[in-house]
Structure 1
Amino acid sequence: MLDYDLDKMLFRIPAEKHSAKEITEILEDHPEVQFVSLVGIDIGGHDTDEKIPVKLFLEDIDKVLTNGVQTDGSSVALPLIAELNNAKVDIIPDLGVHWYVDYNFRNRGYKTGLPIGTLRIPSFLVHNEDFEVGSRVILRDALRHFKEELMRELKAHPYVFQYIKGVDSVDDIEELAITSATELEFWVKTPDDKGDREQLFTAQVLKEQYWKRTYGEVRTALEETLMFLDKYGFQVEMGHKEVGGVKARMGNSGHYDHVMEQLEIDWKYADAIQAADNENQVKYVVRDIFTKHGLDVTFMAKPFEGVAGSGEHTHLGLAAKLKNGKTVSLFAPDDFNKDFMNPLGYGALMGVLKNYEVINPFVSSTNDAFNRLKPGYEAPVCIVTSLGRAVDEPSRNRTVLVGLIRDSKNPMSTRFELRAPNPKSNTYLVIAASYLAILDGIKAVLAAGKGPSELEKSLSKKYGDEDFYLERDREYRSEDDVFEDFTEEERNKLFGQAPSTVWQNLTAFDRYPEKLNIFKEGDVMPEIVLESYREQTLSQWRTELHDRIIPQTMDFIRGCKKVHSDDDFSDYDIKNWLEIDKIRHQIAKDTITEKCLLTRAKDALDHSRYDEASDLQLEIQKKVNELAALYITYKKNLL
């Protein structure tokens, strides 16, 4: 139960109130806010946090708003840019977005009785005083480039306005509005509890948790979270249970023990860069409030093997604010009974699909991400879309990479849902890469002068058909279940073979240099920035595999011990144990003549043989899954 008044607390300083005078007045009226932090987002998606006392901040407010604060390359991930011998980095406030207050619920102010707050100011990173870098910079520049180029394209190809309802020419447009939204799925559990894979799987199949009523601490924490998010102005749409989880049990203490549940929170869309900032703040609020109630929160994409992971579907929209005050969708068709989209919508979707090989390294950059992206569990692995079987039958196909969202009663809702991201994806880079690909597709469509019916045929092309933009030996649309109605061989042939590791994903930068060029246009991602991102992602994969995954796998292998008694066993127990022990040795036991899989993987990483390391990672995963299933069978047969 909340025992303080939310109405007395400051939750945000809106973008229109960022003058030194207004900021000073607001902070002086809210003594519960004791600190200020400038939040820069590096190339790896990490955000900076430093506690500046409000009093000191206000004394130097003009200087801080203009020049920010200074850090060095060891504080941020900017490989090949901010190196130890050239490490000066400034963190400069962004005055164009909302600023949010982050509250510490474990620390109350003596005089106010309210939680102590820190004003978090989204900021840009600047290396050596003149090179703006980092994820927020990339997104900002991508949006700027997109708007400038699209306005030029609309002016050069006026034919397209015959397919856009409510706008006759580019002269009617005041400005373009790039809107985005994410949704947050996450798991909560009581500390130290480990999920029983079979119970979780059974509950998922029986749909015992999906959209069901919450209880106990989970309910309280979820309700408090929604209340707080509403105060921030996020316009929360709902919070509910997701598909994963098992029913909690009431303990002797009167509290629910053995909590293991998956939840989702949705909130309203915003301007693209604001949407990414909003998501950051939502995660902090979720974690802090659930932790206050004794619950662990994880935003991992796949916290438990064998059950649904957590996605973070990213919505991509485009509108035009007109000089007459109205706003129109630039993806919606003129006639919903005739077409799925207008040419800009088709071009946007085709751009994402054609260029997804080089978008994917920004979407799925961790080992955890690839644990989720496997056939089944509604996780998209194939580069394919669904529009709907007819214009009056909206798509509900959850097996595709990108879905079209449309509603004839609300044209402004027309948008695309990219389903591959997860809660730990770098949303700034996901959105930036997606819109640069969208621009590429729109340019191609407008240059070809295509209308909606022609573009639907292009998007629905069959393998081997030539097209003005899409690749010949590919298909891009399916209204069928991609996992059930196609074999793996058919999927790979029609939709391209999906990468299975971080390394395989990164190699797309080398395999598709012509596609990579879409990020370099407008100097959005110059070569040094792309190489910095590649190095950061490679280093993270290499280090995590070498120093975390391999040791954890060794611990798991050691835990698969012989447990049957020599006085009470069956021939079936002996058979199972011998097979288990054989696999254990293959994975983790060296001999004089042969090294085990774990040792070979470490050697490959140590000597930068990344193709080999990637292949071995997949072989280890396969063997570990085989071992885990066999060990469960073995233990179940013991009395």
Structure 2
Amino acid sequence: MSNEILCSENDKLIFLIPTSQHSPKEVTSILKKHPEIKFVSLVGVDLGGNDTDEKIPVALFLKNIEDFLNYGVQTDGSSVILPEIASLNDARVDIIPDSSVNWFVDYNFDNIDEITGLPVGTLRIPSFLIHNGTSRVDSRSILMKAVEHFKAQLLSLIKEYPYALESIGIFSADEIEDIVLTSATELEFWVKTPEEKADIEKLSTSQGLKEQYWKRTVGPVRTALEKSLILLDKYGLGVEMGHKEVGGVQAKLTGSGNYNHIMEQLEIDWKYSTSLQAADNELLARNVIKDTFTSYGLEVTFMAKPIEGVAGSGEHTHVGVAAKLKDGSIKNLFSPADMTKDYMSPIGWGALMGLLKNYEVVNPFVSSTNDSLNRLKPGFEAPVCIVASIGHTVDTPSRNRTILTGLVRDMSNPLATRFEVRSPNPTCNTYLVLAAIYQTMLDGISAVLKAGKNAKELEINFSKGLGEEKFYLETARAYRSEDDVFEHYTEEERNALFGKPPATVWENLVNFQRYPEKKTVLLQGNVFSEKIIHSYKVAILTQWATELTQRLIPDNMDFVRSCKKLHGSENVSDLDVVNWEKVNQLRNYLMKDSLSQKSLFTQIREAIEAADYDTASKLQLEMNQAMGTLKNLYAIYRRNLIELS
């Protein structure tokens, strides 16, 4: 990316201030030349992935610019998600600017400045959250520490075990100027006409027929998509593609020439960047996309599974590691010296093994909501197993869409070698996901290099079968599959080979206790701390319990109430009576209390109130299954009725 300020074509608007121009003098000069920028906002990201946005008038910011850039602003930390860190009686949190990444200008195109005739802008400065003046407690800080720790440890390892560099084509660690960690995300999302109700049957049919995937966009969806791509490019993201995804139905053209009944799934991809910048870019992209589509009267959701029964939205996350050499060249540390001989270098193999072996403590950051777990179900190209694909042969790249992690490689371009982690979704806290991935990858790399394993040995190890005892990896697991894991294995076989996946948020969080040795991997280098992990657990547990009792159960109650008796005394068959009885029995089981028996909904509420989360988790699964059965039974009941009373 150029170090020059990115401007619009007419040079009236600037969209970012790069890292090279963050001195007080340069920032002052830029803001004075652009009076349409009225506000400054310091953007910290809490453990829940929420970004702060406070409007500081530019005049006040410039008056005290050195203090703002050095000391930031104070906020009430109890208002952000930092439970048991920033409490009501210990709530001081400072928001301190980060000068190591790009700063973006966020324009409100609905608010035109009367003097300049330009949209009002806010300079958004990515920042850190500091508790009590000493502890960095925000998501951005955790990722920054993970990157610094990874780079320092890897450099130390390759100096101690130089054979790892020889396998890549680097003759000495002295040639290395820097270790570069790169990342990129692919953002999928749904857009629709406000208040449009999903027709599951039509959506499912369209998905099965692949009527929408990569098809031409039309109307306001096309305009909003194109404008989003143009804006993201102005922000320096380097847009690579925008297209329709598999979900959606054809919009309808009205007699007035407008489109309605819009319900489509889209994807936007942009160029990779350094890890912290990539996460910041994604945060920006979500805001730009949502604002742009909203301006065209369209509702955007980044939920992982907004519509039951059809494709959810993923955010496939790509990670790579390279060395910048002193001669200016770049070497991918995952690529072997001979791409026709090996899949990866020992460093690459170690990174993949570390991620999969320790994934149980990465997953709580990936799948932290009921919505995210709803997406991870067989049949929708979403991964449910801890398993990777590397390709059938060295010269046949992996194209397996059913696995957790895929090795991406291009025989003609060694710089392209990376991992695609397919489990994240658009609501993930990408900062924490990347930090956890890097910590676990480093664990595998360290084990591999200390053992002196070469690429061929590691390929054999990684391709182990169930029950085979091999280096580093767990005996009771397999880790590689080039087959469709949903078609090739039964659920029982998948669970036996790759481990049973968590089905609820609680089952996921419990892995921090179930695998203490894996949690220790996160703590290395003080990247994560016990306090941070505990705070995160409290935040996610509170979110899960609140959503379960105050959103999911009430929504289910509404559906239970909507399942009414529809047949009268005429034109009714004995089958209608039997079908209704099945429906009604299930309604009562789910929702109706009596003196002798409590309903399933009541049992869940009471388990949550008693902090009996194991029971609440099991009952949630029972509720999900019962609700699915109820919906199916009621559909069968309605289908047989000629007349509805």
Q: TM-score range by the shorter chain?
A: over 0.9
- Which sits farther off after the overlay, 73-82 or 509-518? 73-82
CA offset at residue 110 of structure 1? 1.7
Q: Deviations over 1:289-314 (max 9, x none)?
A: 00000000000000001101000000
Q: Quote the residue 1:421 is aligned against.
A: 424
Aligned counterpart in structure 2 of residue 156 of structure 1, from 149, 157, 160: 160
Distance, in Å, in 2 between the alignment partners of 1:118 and 1:575 is 63
Residues 504 and 614, structure 1, Cα contact 8 Å, conserved in 2: yes
Q: Quote the residue 1:494 is aligned against.
A: 497
Note if 1:265 corresponds to 2:268: yes
Note if 1:125 corresponds to 2:129: yes
Aligned counterpart in structure 2 of residue 18 of structure 1, from 11, 22, 45: 22
Distance, in Å, in 2 between the alignment partners of 1:565 and 1:60 is 76
Aligned to 1:413, the other structure's residue is in SS state strand
Aligned counterpart in structure 2 of residue 230 of structure 1, from 226, 230, 233: 233
Q: Quote the residue 2:49 is aligned against.
A: 45
Q: Deviations over 1:59-88 (max 9, x none)?
A: 111110000000012221111111111110
CA offset at residue 635 of structure 1? 2.3
- Which sits farther off after the overlay, 5-14 or 399-408? 5-14
C-alpha spacing 1:623/1:14, structure 2 compared with 1 (3 Å): same
Distance, in Å, in 1 between the alignment partners of 2:165 and 2:60 is 54
Note if 1:171 corresponds to 2:165: no
C-alpha spacing 1:252/1:565, structure 2 compared with 1 (3 Å): farther
Q: Aligned pair count?
A: 635
Aligned counterpart in structure 2 of residue 145 of structure 1, from 142, 149, 152: 149
Q: Quote the residue 1:438 is aligned against.
A: 441
Q: Quote the residue 2:394 is aligned against.
A: 391
Note if 1:31 corresponds to 2:35: yes
Distance, in Å, in 2 between the alignment partners of 1:218 and 1:9 is 25
Q: Deviations over 1:251-290 (max 9, x none)?
A: 2332110100000000000000000000000000000000
Matches within 5 A, 1:136-535: 136-165=140-169, 167-535=170-538
Distance, in Å, in 1 between the alignment partners of 2:603 and 2:159 is 58
Distance, in Å, in 2 between the alignment partners of 1:632 and 1:476 is 41
Structure 2 gap segments, 5+ residues each: 1-7
Note if 1:90 corresponds to 2:113: no
Note if 1:616 corresponds to 2:619: yes
Instruction: Please tell me the residue identity of whatever aligns with 2:33.
Output: D
Distance, in Å, in 2 between the alignment partners of 1:584 and 1:413 is 54
Instruction: Please tell me the residue identity of whatever aligns with 1:413.
Output: A
Aligned to 2:395, the other structure's residue is in SS state coil
Structure 1 gap segments, 5+ residues each: none
Aligned counterpart in structure 1 of residue 628 of structure 2, from 616, 625, 630: 625
Residues 105 and 288, structure 1, Cα contact 8 Å, conserved in 2: no
Q: Quote the residue 1:606 is aligned against.
A: 609
Instruction: Please tell me the residue identity of whatever aligns with 1:358.
Output: V
Note if 1:105 corresponds to 2:80: no
C-alpha spacing 1:6/1:581, structure 2 compared with 1 (3 Å): farther
Note if 1:114 corresponds to 2:118: yes
Aligned to 2:123, the other structure's residue is in SS state strand
- Which sits farther off after the overlay, 107-116 or 616-625? 107-116
CA offset at residue 625 of structure 1? 1.0
Note if 1:636 corresponds to 2:642: no
Q: Quote the residue 1:54 is aligned against.
A: 58
Distance, in Å, in 1 between the alignment partners of 2:333 and 2:202 is 46
Q: Deviations over 1:225-246 (max 9, x none)?
A: 1111111110000100000000
Aligned to 1:8, the other structure's residue is in SS state coil
Instruction: Please tell me the residue identity of whatever aligns with 1:415.
Output: R
Q: Deviations over 1:328-350 (max 9, x none)?
A: 10001111111100100000000
Aligned to 1:12, the other structure's residue is in SS state strand
Aligned to 2:474, the other structure's residue is in SS state coil
CA offset at residue 610 of structure 1? 0.3
Residues 105 and 289, structure 1, Cα contact 8 Å, conserved in 2: no
Aligned counterpart in structure 2 of residue 596 of structure 1, from 599, 604, 629: 599
Instruction: Please tell me the residue identity of whatever aligns with 1:307.
Output: V
Residues 239 and 265, structure 1, Cα contact 8 Å, conserved in 2: yes
CA offset at residue 573 of structure 1? 2.5
Instruction: Please tell me the residue identity of whatever aligns with 1:100.
Output: F
CA offset at residue 567 of structure 1? 3.0
Q: Deviations over 1:415-434 (max 9, x none)?
A: 00000000000000000000
C-alpha spacing 1:84/1:627, structure 2 compared with 1 (3 Å): same
C-alpha spacing 1:458/1:56, structure 2 compared with 1 (3 Å): same
Distance, in Å, in 2 between the alignment partners of 1:75 and 1:279 is 24
Aligned to 2:14, the other structure's residue is in SS state coil
Instruction: Please tell me the residue identity of whatever aligns with 1:205.
Output: G
Distance, in Å, in 2 between the alignment partners of 1:566 and 1:348 is 68
CA offset at residue 7 of structure 1? 4.2
CA offset at residue 563 of structure 1? 2.5
Distance, in Å, in 1 between the alignment partners of 2:565 and 2:555 is 19
Aligned to 1:535, the other structure's residue is in SS state helix
Residues 373 and 379, structure 1, Cα contact 8 Å, conserved in 2: yes
- Which sits farther off after the overlay, 573-582 or 530-539? 573-582
What RMSD, in angstroms, separates the aligned Cα atoms of the two structures? 1.1
C-alpha spacing 1:344/1:571, structure 2 compared with 1 (3 Å): same
Q: Quote the residue 1:552 is aligned against.
A: 555
CA offset at residue 601 of structure 1? 0.3
C-alpha spacing 1:569/1:67, structure 2 compared with 1 (3 Å): same
Aligned counterpart in structure 2 of residue 66 of structure 1, from 67, 70, 74: 70
CA offset at residue 591 of structure 1? 1.4
Residues 320 and 330, structure 1, Cα contact 8 Å, conserved in 2: yes
Distance, in Å, in 1 between the alignment partners of 2:109 and 2:375 is 33
Distance, in Å, in 2 between the alignment partners of 1:253 and 1:631 is 38
Residues 176 and 319, structure 1, Cα contact 8 Å, conserved in 2: yes
CA offset at residue 369 of structure 1? 0.4
Distance, in Å, in 2 between the alignment partners of 1:566 and 1:216 is 49
Distance, in Å, in 1 between the alignment partners of 2:41 and 2:635 is 49
CA offset at residue 111 of structure 1? 2.5
TM-score normalised over the length of structure 1: 0.98
TM-score normalised over the length of structure 2: 0.97
Instruction: Please tell me the residue identity of whatever aligns with 2:73.
Output: V
CA offset at residue 5 of structure 1? 6.8
Distance, in Å, in 2 between the alignment partners of 1:153 and 1:593 is 66
Distance, in Å, in 2 between the alignment partners of 1:193 and 1:633 is 25
Instruction: Please tell me the residue identity of whatever aligns with 1:348.
Output: A
Distance, in Å, in 1 between the alignment partners of 2:388 and 2:17 is 40
Instruction: Please tell me the residue identity of whatever aligns with 1:154.
Output: I
Instruction: Please tell me the residue identity of whatever aligns with 2:39.
Output: F
Distance, in Å, in 1 between the alignment partners of 2:202 and 2:77 is 46
Aligned to 1:412, the other structure's residue is in SS state strand
Distance, in Å, in 1 between the alignment partners of 2:378 and 2:482 is 17
Instruction: Please tell me the residue identity of whatever aligns with 2:461.
Output: S
Aligned to 1:417, the other structure's residue is in SS state strand
Q: Deviations over 1:329-383 (max 9, x none)?
A: 0001111111100100000000000000011001111111001011120110100
Distance, in Å, in 1 between the alignment partners of 2:452 and 2:9 is 59
